[in-house]
Amino acid sequence: MKLRLTLWLLGLMLKRALRRRPRFKEQLERMRGLNWGIATEDLGTARYYRMTPQGIDTGKGLPIDLDLELRFRDQDAALKILKKPTRQAFLHGMMEGDVRLVGDSSDMTKLQKLLKHL
């Protein structure tokens, strides 16, 4: 339940940043949008984020057309890494097998640059 709430709140934070933070919107315009999602490996908890400079759409589940997916071993591993989403935390999680990246790693770099402006 904590992970679902965290992912829902992330959607609110992204929408708020788009409205209030010019650097966030500027970075998103340079990217021309990004579609990504977060889920547990069993897909018991999953949420997607479709981000464009015009708006951010979020919802339950993982559509198949996403640019990037972050798959976590379980809810505890997801919460542990998402509490401090640094590059180091993700690398450590990938080496430990707690997180798996589905998609292009350059999209992950773009996402991390964008999330700095939250």
- Give the domains, in start order, of the chain with CATH numbers: 2-115 (3.30.1050.10)
- Taking CA atoms, 116 is separated from 4, 10, 16, in Å, by 22, 13, 14
What's the mean pLDDT in 30-50? Answer: 94
Report the predicted TM-score, pTM, of the whole model to 2 decimal places.
0.89
pLDDT single digits (tens) 4-21: 999 999 999 999 999 999
Q: How confident is the model at residue 38 (pLDDT cuts 50, 70, 90)?
A: very high
How much is the pLDDT for 114? 87
pLDDT single digits (tens) 50-96: 999 999 999 999 999 999 999 999 999 999 998 887 888 888 999 99
Q: How confident is the model at residue 109 (pLDDT cuts 50, 70, 90)?
A: confident
